[in-house]
Amino acid sequence: MKIKFRFSFAAVLVIPLYLTFLAFHTDIAQASDDAYDVKVPESKLAEVKALKNVVASNKKSLSEAKAIYTGKGTCFNCHGEKGRGDGELASSFEPPPRNFTLSGWQKVRSDGELFYVITNGTESGMPGFGDMLSDEEKWSLINYIREFGKSKSLASRK
């Protein structure tokens, strides 16, 4: 009886801890090798990180951003409608397009860095949207991308 109690106690305590570890570990494992690479040149990093998002994240701006994400921004083709990096063209890219649902990635990337990447693109195939989107549209998109990292959000709903 005592042994059974101890086992149950361990199960209650250890299994959730293990599952938490597993979730965190899986989050890292799911990320491709370059997930945590800084995409901004060293010389511009401080300036870029200091950039502040000038668009408030609210229902209206997120709704507009969703229209860009799935429309003229064409983001969904690669990053997927739910931001999982699994769009129709994802398999054409190596490394694969960013999975925005990874919480670890969401934590390490500043809004300024995302603004830089959206504007200038990356060497791994992301096109630069410098002339195709206004600054305001880019900041709105960044708010929308942030929503993918939240479990209950506009972005995660269909």
72 binds another protein per the rule CB under 8 A: yes
Contacts of 15 (CB under 8 A, 6+ apart): none
Structure tokens at 23: 């979730």
77 binds another protein per the rule CB under 8 A: yes
32 binds another protein per the rule CB under 8 A: no
74 binds another protein per the rule CB under 8 A: yes
**Cα–Cα distance, 102 to 98 (Å, whole number):** 9
Q: Is the dihedral of CA 64, 53, 108, 119 positive or negative?
A: positive
Nearest residue (CB) to another protein, 74 versus 153: 74
What is the rounded radius of gyration, in angstroms, for the C-alpha atoms of the chain? Answer: 19
Measured from the CB of residue 20, what is the shortest distance to another protein in angstroms? 36
Write down the number of H helices and E strands in the chain.
7, 0
Nearest residue (CB) to another protein, 8 versus 134: 134
Q: Which of 118, 126, 141, 142 binds another protein (CB under 8 A)?
A: 126
DSSP-derived 3-state class of residue 36:
coil
Q: Which of 91, 134, 135, 150 binds another protein (CB under 8 A)?
A: 91
Nearest residue (CB) to another protein, 67 versus 154: 67
Binding site for another protein (CB under 8 A): 71-74, 77, 89, 91-93, 121, 125-129, 131-133
